[in-house]
Amino acid sequence: MHPPHIRYYVSDYGYGHASRAIAVIRALKRELDAEVSIRAYTSADFLHRSLPECAITQKRNDVGVVMHEGTANVDPIETECQLIDWVRSWDAYIAEETTICKEAGIDLILSDITPQVFHISRKLEIPGVGISNFTWELIFRELYGNTSEVQKIHDAYRCADMACVLPLHESMSVFPRLKPVSLISRKLTRSREEMRKIYGLGNELVVYLGSGQSISAVPDCVEALINHGVTVLISGNQRTHVHGVITIPESDMETQDYIGMCDLVVTKPGYSTISEAISSRIPMIVFPRKGFAEDRYIVDPIVKNSIGSSMSWDEVRTGEWVSDLEYYLSLKARYDSCSDMFMRDGTKDCIELIRSLL
C-alpha cells in the first residue's frame, strides 16, 4: 500500500479538537507514513508549530457557540446568527474543498468534527471518518430544535462512513456507523519531575486553573489557593503578575506537560484539558457551561467514576472549596478502579480503523 494522503479538518471552536488531532496525526505519520494536510483557522498556528511537516490551509471550517462575555453561559441569539451564516456558506466551501481534494489525490478525509466535509468524501467516493465525543448536531438541536440548519448538519454527518467515538461522549447516533475508541491525548514530552525542576518546584501543590476568563475575574479563588501554600498554573492567554502564579508560555506547544505537573485541575469541560488530566491521573473540579449540551456528557462520567467533582463557575470563583482541598486531592486514588477506556491509547484504535478503510 502506498503512503496514504489524508485531509484533516479541525473544528475552529477552541483548541481541544486541535490537541487531539495532533495526537492522531503524529500516530498516522508514525504508523502509516501518511501525508497529512490540514484545514483549520483558529488553531492553525498551534497546529503548524506542533506539526511543521504538515501543509496547513488557514481557512474557517465551522462555528461553535458564543458565550456571554465574562460568564459560562451561551448567548443563543448571537450563536444562531453565526449558525445561519455558516450553513449558508456550505455550497462554496464544498465546491472549493472538493477541487482541492481531487487535485491532491486525497485518499481519506478525517474530521473533528466539521460536518459538511462528509459531502466531499461522498462526492469523491473516498472514506470519510469523524473523530469526536460530540457533534454540532447535538449542540444546535438542543439550543434551537429541528431547524433547517440543524437538519442540514444532521444530513451531512449521515454521509460519513463511520465515527471513531471517544470516551465521555454523547450518543453520536447521527453517524451511520460507530466505533468506540479509547481516550486520545498528546503524550507527555517532559516528565512531572522535569517540569517542576524548570520552575524550581519540589513537592509543593500545583493547581491548574483553566478559567477561560481573565485571571482578574477570579481573585478570591487565586488568593485562597496562594494563601493555602498552593502554586497556581494558568493558561498562556491570561496575564497576571501575582506572586505564586505560573503562566504557561504561549511559545510552548506541548502544554500537556504543564497539566502533567499538577496535583489538581480546575477547568471548564474542555476535552483536551480533561483528557490530559485523565492521562496523567490528576483529579479534577469541573464547572459546566450553561447552554452547552456537550458538557454533561463529559462531566457526568467524571463524577460517576469519582475522579473529579462538579461545581458551578460562581462556586469555583469564590474559592470556598479550597478549604476542602485535601478531599479533592484524594480523588487521585480513584483512578486505580477507573474505566479501561480512559487508560488505553486511543490513537492505536483509530489507526487500525483507518487502516481498514484504505
Domain of 258, CATH number, reads: 3.40.50.2000
Domain count across the chain:
2
Which pLDDT score is estimated for 217? 53
Q: 81-84 contacts: CB < 8 A, separation 24 or more?
A: 83/140, 83/144, 83/149, 84/149
* Residues 249 and 238 sit within 8 Å (Cβ to Cβ): no
Q: What is the pLDDT of residues 90-104, one digit of tens each?
A: 999 999 999 999 999
**Statement to judge: residues 202 and 338 lie in one domain:** yes
Which three-class secondary structure state does DSSP give residue 23? helix
- Looking at residue 215, what is its pLDDT? 46
Please say whether the beta carbons of 33 and 354 come within 8 A.
no
Q: Residue 319: what pLDDT?
A: 93
Give the pLDDT band of residue 240 (cuts 50, 70, 90).
low
Q: In terms of domains, do 87 and 220 share one?
A: no
Question: Is pLDDT of 211 > 50?
Answer: yes
Q: What is the domain range of residue 75?
A: 5-184+345-357
266 plus 322 within the same structural domain? yes
**What's the CA gap between 131 and 352, in Å, rounded?**
13
pLDDT at 212 over 60: no
Q: Name which of 263, 260, 312, 315 is nearest 289 in CA terms.
A: 312
108 and 42 both lie in a single domain: yes
Cis peptide bond upstream of 77, omega within 30: no
- The structure's pTM equals 0.90
Both 109 and 173 in one domain: the answer is yes
**Cα–chain center distance at 17:** 4
- Is residue 84 located within the same domain as residue 202? no
Note whether 133 and 240 are same-domain residues. no
pLDDT in tens, 117-132: 999 999 999 999 999 9
Helix (H) or strand (E) holding 349: helix 346-357
Is residue 146 located within the same domain as residue 239? no
Exposure b/e, 139-153, CB count within 10 A at least 16 = b: bbbebeeebebbebb
The reply to whether 167 and 88 lie within a common domain is yes
Q: Taking residues 59-83, report their average pLDDT.
A: 91
Residue 1: per-residue pLDDT = 64
Q: Do 180 and 53 fall within a single domain? A: yes
Query: What's the rounded mean pLDDT across residues 72-83?
Result: 93
Q: Write down how long the chain is.
A: 358
- In whole angstroms, give the CA distance from residue 170 to residue 333: 27
Both 26 and 167 in one domain: the answer is: yes
List the one residue out of 250, 241, 278, 243 whose CA is nearest residue 262: 278
Is 212 in the same domain as 306? yes
